[in-house]
Copies of this chain bind each other. A is one copy, B any other.
Amino acid sequence: MRNFDDSRIMEQTVSSEHVFDGLILHIDHLTNQLPNGKLAKREVARHIGAAAVLPVDGDGNVYLVRQFRAPVGRVLMEIPAGKLDYRGEDRLAAAKRELREETGLEASKWTHLNDLLTTVGFCDECIGVYLAQELTRGESHPDDDEFLNVVKLPYDEAMAMVASNEINDAKTVCALALARPFLEK
């Protein structure tokens, strides 16, 4: 593991003001001291965290979900995912729950791919991203008022949809791309 000298780029928080409480986001305005001694204001949105999972069956098919996403006003194609039930919840346990709830699948082989920081400029959201293999069918229990379509398609077709800019969701792009070496074994 390479070592980096970060001593000249560190910031110190000198004060913090809580400015917004929302349904998902809780926002602080930090006043940070920069390396040159000046002060800068940093907007920081606190998020509880999430887990996501790419399920791949023995034939090399992936299961994605199509879901309407209000922020972008359209339906996106994503890996199954969901917020943690509470801060600090085990992300693998949450990934197993979301896989079961959204697709009805269970998996006996789990591989951790990354703890993804989605948008580090303004938010602390971290998504534990997993690969799920050796799938069996359980029962689907979608959340009340969660409407989604599960789509099964070959891994290569999903990767082609990333390359053609038809899949844009960051956790989904990462999971598909990072899973490749594990699928070639």
Starting from the known contacts A1-B166, A11-B68, A44-B70, 13 additional A-B residue pairs (CB-CB under 8 Å) come to A2-B157, A9-B67, A9-B149, A11-B147, A20-B27, A35-B147, A42-B71, A44-B71, A45-B45, A47-B122, A71-B120, A72-B120, A173-B178
When distances are taken between beta carbons in the complex, the residues of chain B under 8 Å from A22 are 19-20, 27, 29, 43
**CB–CB B170/A68 < 8 A:** no
How many monomers of this chain does the complex have? 2
Pairwise interchain contact A83-B121, C-beta atoms closer than 8 A: yes
Residues from chain B with Cβ under 8 Å of A123 in the complex = 71, 119, 123
A177 within 8 A of B: yes
The A contact surface, by secondary structure, is: mixed
Within 8 A of B (CB), among A124-156: 124-126, 145, 147-149, 151, 153
Q: Would A149 and B4 count as touching, CB distance under 8 A?
A: yes
Interface size (A, Cβ < 8 Å)? 79
Tell me, in angstroms, the Cα distance from A177 to B176 when the chains sit together.
9
Say yes or no: A34-B147 contact (C-beta < 8 A), given A23-B29, A78-B120, A123-B119.
Answer: yes
Q: Which A residues lie at the B interface, using CB under 8 A? A: 1-2, 4-6, 8-11, 13, 19-20, 22-25, 27, 29-30, 32, 34-36, 38, 40-45, 47, 50, 66-73, 75-78, 83, 112, 114-126, 145, 147-149, 151, 153, 157, 162-166, 168-171, 173-174, 177-178
